[in-house]
Amino acid sequence: MSDEGAALAALVAAGLARLEAVSTLEELAAAEAAVLGKRSELASHQQALGRLPPEQRREAGRQVNQARQALQATADKARDRVRVAERARRLQAERLDLTEVTPGPHRGRLNLVGQTRDELEDVFVGMGYSVAEGPEVETDWHNFEALNMPVAHPARSGHDTLYLDWGPPESTLLRTQTSPVQIRVMQGTPPPIYSVMPGKVYRKDTPDARHTPSFSQIEGLVVDRGITFGDLAGTIRSFTAAYFGPSIQSRLRPAYFPFTEPSAEFEITCTICQGGGCRTCSGTGWIELGGCGMVHPKVLANVGIDAEEWSGFAFGFGIDRCAQMRHGLSDMRVLLDNDIRFISQF
């Protein structure tokens, strides 16, 4: 071996050693520059080739090339090795226990009564109804008289009305039902009418576990040609099943309301015991949900609708009560406390 050859071999050995020793990409870059770069000894050897006599040049060139290839291959291997090691170091450094991360800002919650109302509205919208709203302060005429409850009608005494210091005595009140919205709808829109009226209503009631002075109700009104009591029964069956679930049955029982005739209370399968009988339903398997009936001809006459041409039905029930039944509220007063611990549950 020539001196030249021995020098090259030493160079390669040193270069390989250096490249194999690197542990970071920076060291690798420095080592590559030193071993393989333009100013490296290897580069000087390459440049020296030109000065060799042609018969030696071929062999020498092969040796330099071999050296370069060996060094390059080692550099590439070192790069792979260092990358793997660097990734491992980074992953180790970035290790995170996700269970130590605590909740950040949380979403607010819609009120349970509002959620219930939305869902009930959606059920009726799906059945082709519009949603009608009206004032909570009403005239005696809209709340009572137009609904076939003239002054001193005995049925009024059951309403525990809150009259207001507004206008002549007992002329203005907080609506006891959302029925005055039915009157406003019938006055404002010619039939056919398919509407529900959700909203707050008021009763002069001592607050207890089942009553609050203001609560939410939803009523429905349909006025069309040929509407029957069977339509009322079927509609109640449809929406109770849609809201409470297909296993819930409904039934109608004769009742009395001045604004409907025939009138009925409607009951659904007790949602607690699924009809088996429990304390909530007094062992009957049924829970009373609301009132309904065929719109009284006098009510239709009061809003100028011909009761021979058109007929209709109306129904009403408590939104709060639906929420109570579905979510197991034992005390309704919690609905007006605005206790965030309660609101956040739903």
Where in 122-161 is the site for another protein (CB under 8 A)? Answer: 124-131, 135-139, 152, 154-155, 157-158
- 251 makes contact with another protein (CB under 8 A): yes
Minimum distance of another protein from residue 289's CB (angstroms): 14
Q: Please give the residues from 197 up to 226 whose contact with another protein meets the rule CB under 8 A.
A: 200, 202, 204-207, 212-214, 222, 224, 226
Residues 6+ apart with CB under 8 A from 42: 11, 15, 35, 36, 64, 67, 68, 71
- 276 makes contact with another protein (CB under 8 A): no
Is the CB of residue 193 less than 8 Å from the CB of residue 222? yes
Q: Please, which residue, 47 or 171, has the CB nearer to another protein?
A: 171
- Backbone φ, ψ for residue 215 (5° rounding): -150, 175
- 309 makes contact with another protein (CB under 8 A): no
Cα 58 to Cα 28, 52, 66, 68: the distances in Å are: 31, 9, 12, 15
Q: Please, which residue, 41 or 119, has the CB nearer to another protein?
A: 119
Applying CB under 8 A, among 164, 209, 309, 328 the residue interacting with another protein is 164
CB burial class (10 A; 0-12, 13-18, 19+) of residue 314?
Answer: buried
Q: Which of 343, 339, 111, 345 is nearest to 215 (CA)?
A: 111
Q: Please, which residue, 295 or 325, has the CB nearer to another protein?
A: 295
- 243 makes contact with another protein (CB under 8 A): no
Angle among Cα 48, 51, 52 to the nearest 5 degrees reads 95
Between the CA atoms of 333, 248, 265 and 277, what dihedral angle is there, to the nearest 10 degrees? -80
Q: Please give the residues from 85 up to 124 whose contact with another protein meets the rule CB under 8 A.
A: 105-111, 113-114, 118, 121, 124
- 51 makes contact with another protein (CB under 8 A): no
- 304 makes contact with another protein (CB under 8 A): no
Applying CB under 8 A, among 172, 249, 285, 334 the residue interacting with another protein is 172
Q: Please, which residue, 40 or 143, has the CB nearer to another protein?
A: 143
Provide the 10 A C-beta neighbour count for residue 296: 21
- 261 makes contact with another protein (CB under 8 A): yes
